[in-house]
Amino acid sequence: MDKAPFTQSVAIFDASERLVDWSAGFGEEFADAASILSQGISARDIYAMCLLPERALDLSWASGGTPPPVFEYINNRRSIAVEQHLGANGYVFRIAQSTQATPQLHPSMLDESAELLRSAALQISAAVLKRREQETHRLHELALTDGLTGIANRRYFDELLDIEWQRCKKSRLPLSTIFIDIDFFKRYNDFYGHLSGDVCLKIIASTLRANLHRPRDLVARYGGEEFTCLLPETDLRDAAHKAAELEKAIRALAIPHGKSEAASIVTISLGVSTAQCIMGDDSSVLIRAADQLLYDAKAAGRGCVRSALCTSMG
């Protein structure tokens, strides 16, 4: 015998669309997600567990501040009316009422058959939406990833630099960047061939990434044989120390380079710049400073590190 349906479902979400509190009816309304319901879980994660229409738990309207009108959807052969309100601090109050049972799709159709058809339709709809979301996420990742090395590309670096610049500025934290260039890489390509050059780039990218351990640290391919690292909340001393670690790590690979004037193996030159006290909104000053220090490292014979504070904050 079917369990009696809920009559009212109440849930509160914070401004980040994360669950704050809920009634037993909410757990029944989203029964497929009952096992994961907990404070802090996102509305998206709850919806992903359920075979329900997307609007059943779509809180994207909250960022605009205007609640949608009351709407109805079908859940377990019941018509559910959903009303939503925006409270203080961006909290969303969602109230759903179970109104009435939905009619059979056809008078001669058994309840079980009708339910199977509805369930199948919901499953197909949910699968299509999930596939579309996965494809969108995959395309977004591809747009921010270097195709050869698999690390972040310049676009991703530039976007994250602006974000970290503003965050560190607001929190009065230092921000460092390291510009890296493979020494005499054109000669390497000409001598060993472009396929070997691609393998070399992949190995160096992987090694650089393996030597950045903090979640916020980033290594990206800036272009050609140039790489860059973004080190939030890192002062000049620690950034220079990390650069020295990276230089040693690449030397330790001992990749032969018969045409280098710096060493008999592949080496890198590094320029380190730190914005100790960020002022202004132009994050490109940090890039220019690190690029100049990279040039200084090359002028000093390559295979070394040059570092300094970024003093231009216009």
The CATH number covering residue 188 comes to 3.30.70.270
The model's confidence at residue 65, banded by pLDDT at 50, 70 and 90, is: confident
Taking the whole predicted model, whether its pTM rises above 0.85 is answered as: no
The model's confidence at residue 74, banded by pLDDT at 50, 70 and 90, is: confident
Evaluate whether residue 314 is within a structural domain.
Answer: no
Number of domains, the chain: 2
Q: Which of 143, 166, 198 is the last residue of a domain?
A: 143
> Once rounded to an integer, what is the mean pLDDT over residues 188-213?
96
Which range in 3-17, 174-188, 269-283 is most confidently predicted, on average pLDDT?
174-188
Q: Residue 2 has what pLDDT?
A: 46
Which pairing describes strands 8-13 and 92-101: parallel, antiparallel, or unpaired? antiparallel
Please check whether residues 158 and 47 belong to one and the same domain: no
Please check whether residues 237 and 94 belong to one and the same domain: no
Q: Within a 13 Å sphere around the CA of 68, how many CA atoms are in the beta-carbon half?
A: 16
Please check whether residues 59 and 177 belong to one and the same domain: no
Residues of the domain holding 123: 8-143
Please say if the pLDDT value at position 180 is more than 50: yes
Please check whether residues 215 and 263 belong to one and the same domain: yes
Please check whether residues 139 and 194 belong to one and the same domain: no
Task: Look up the CATH number of the domain holding residue 109.
Answer: 3.30.450.20
Distance CA 86, CA 94 (A): 9
Q: Residue 79 has what pLDDT?
A: 86
Sign of CA dihedral 290, 293, 299, 305: negative
Give 51: exposed, middle or buried? Use CB within 10 Å, 0-12, 13-18, 19+: middle
Please say if the pLDDT value at position 11 is more than 70: yes
Out of 225, 226, 245, 261, the active site residue is: 225
Evaluate whether residue 39 is within a structural domain.
Answer: yes
Please check whether residues 195 and 297 belong to one and the same domain: yes
Q: Within a 13 Å sphere around the CA of 286, how many CA atoms are in the beta-carbon half?
A: 30
The question of whether 225 is a catalytic residue gets the answer yes
Evaluate whether residue 96 is within a structural domain.
Answer: yes
Please check whether residues 158 and 305 belong to one and the same domain: yes
Q: Which of 100, 118, 143 is the last residue of a domain?
A: 143
Please check whether residues 162 and 47 belong to one and the same domain: no
Please check whether residues 304 and 161 belong to one and the same domain: yes
Please check whether residues 138 and 177 belong to one and the same domain: no
> Once rounded to an integer, what is the mean pLDDT over residues 252-256?
97
Q: Which of 95, 124, 143 is the last residue of a domain?
A: 143
Which range in 54-63, 123-132, 192-201 is most confidently predicted, on average pLDDT?
192-201
Q: Residue 98 has what pLDDT?
A: 85
Distance CA 68, CA 62 (A): 9
> Once rounded to an integer, what is the mean pLDDT over residues 154-177?
93
